[in-house]
A and B are shown apart, each in its own frame.
Chain A
Amino acid sequence: MSTTSFTTGQATSTSRVPVRARGQLLAATVAGVLFGFGLSLSTMIQPRVVLDFLTLQDFGLMLVLGGAVLVTFVAYRLLPRLRTTPLLGGVFGQHESIMDRQTIIGAAIFGIGWGICGVCPGPAIAGLGAGSWELLYAIAGIALGALVQGLTTKR
């Protein structure tokens, strides 16, 4: 039933963004603000700190990941039991679960790149807000990598 309201919301988008979609954009922005503040506070926007973790000199990244997973785990478990739909409507999504060779090969390649530059997709963007304009090089690289992946995938 909630899916029908979702599709009508999409269908009415002629030139103006529909009300529900506007709420969605605002929600995504506010959620992003929390995410970006957390990344900055935890110094994960600094490639040096990430590389210090990867060279096993500072295990802080484990606390960051652990803390984030803990809160998200509770939310993902609890919210769909408390409510039938999200607060702004729509449906509770699920993380897509696909296990194939690409999942592992891609992760291996991602890790090699991460070990080289110490930058992940999120912090690359967030760091710009703290004046780390050098991260534009990483963003350009990530966008290029995503482009090549999309152009070479047959589907």
Chain B
Amino acid sequence: MAFFPNGWQHYLIGGLLIGSGVSLLFALTGLIGGMSSVYSSTWSWILRTPFFQHPRLVNSRQWRLAYAAGLIIGAALWWFLLGGGARVAVELSPLRLLIGGVLVGYGARLSRGCTSGHGICGLASLNRPSLLAVCTFMLTAIVTANLLSRVASA
């Protein structure tokens, strides 16, 4: 099928598993598990400015880091069980990853959410600002990626 040239089952099952993780966190602790906050809350161990010492960051920095460690363990488990031996290599240039990353980090924190915070937790809460945020970043991301692929192939 043209929409899914690489099959669709692994996408759906993967998505259901991601949702199960967010749901389990909520069921056990009541916490809302977006991912971008860990990049701010971890700075609170070093930086003493009022922004980084806000209770919202300081009180969540431990579980957010544990959540992030879980991500790595989960991916390692997948690699061990289903990954087929070879590591997953990323072919993009370091500069592209770095520059893209800076904008991703700055934008997600300014917007208070990313693909998981706004995309999963926000949409699942039927949150209108999150829906607007998702539509906005989908639009700018699609435009940017298409422009870049044109430049690369020209």
- Do the beta carbons of B143 and A97 come within 8 Å of each other? no
* Cα-based distance from A30 to B35 in the complex (angstroms): 15
Residue from the set B18, B108, B123, B128 with the largest chain A CB neighbour count within 10 Å: B18
Contact with A along B84-103 (1 / 0, CB 8 A): 00011111101011111111
If A65-B15, A115-B142, A146-B36 touch, whether A120 touches B104 (CB-CB below 8 Å) is: yes
Chain B contact residue count (CB 8 A cutoff): 121
- Do the beta carbons of A28 and B120 come within 8 Å of each other? no
Indicate which residue in A114, A129, A134 contacts B94 across the interface (CB closer than 8 Å): A134
- Do the beta carbons of B107 and A35 come within 8 Å of each other? no
**Considering only CB atoms, which chain B residue lies closest to A2 in the complex?**
B30
In angstroms, how far is the closest chain A Cβ from the Cβ of B6?
6
- Do the beta carbons of B49 and A151 come within 8 Å of each other? yes
Residue from the set B15, B102, B140 with the largest chain A CB neighbour count within 10 Å: B15
* Cα-based distance from A146 to B109 in the complex (angstroms): 6
Contact with B along A75-119 (1 / 0, CB 8 A): 110010000011110111111111100111111111111111111
* Cα-based distance from A23 to B63 in the complex (angstroms): 10
- Do the beta carbons of A60 and B27 come within 8 Å of each other? no
B21 / chain A contacts, CB cutoff of 8 Å: 31-36, 38
In angstroms, how far is the closest chain B Cβ from the Cβ of A31?
4
Q: Which of A8-46 contact B (CB under 8 A)?
A: 10, 17, 21, 23-46
If A33-B21, A94-B125, A97-B128 touch, whether A138 touches B36 (CB-CB below 8 Å) is: no
- Do the beta carbons of B105 and A86 come within 8 Å of each other? no
Closest 3 CB pairs of A and B: A32-B70, A141-B101, A42-B14
Identify 16 new A-B residue pairs, CB closer than 8 A, beyond the known A36-B73, A113-B100.
A24-B28, A26-B66, A31-B22, A31-B70, A34-B24, A38-B13, A43-B11, A47-B90, A72-B26, A72-B121, A72-B124, A97-B125, A106-B112, A107-B113, A129-B75, A145-B103
A-B contact pairs, 7 of them (CB 8 A): A41-B78, A55-B149, A73-B126, A86-B29, A96-B32, A114-B104, A142-B104
State the B residues within 8 Å of A (CB): 3-6, 8, 10-33, 35-36, 38-40, 42-43, 47, 49-52, 54, 59, 62-64, 66-79, 82-83, 87-92, 94, 96-130, 132-134, 136-149
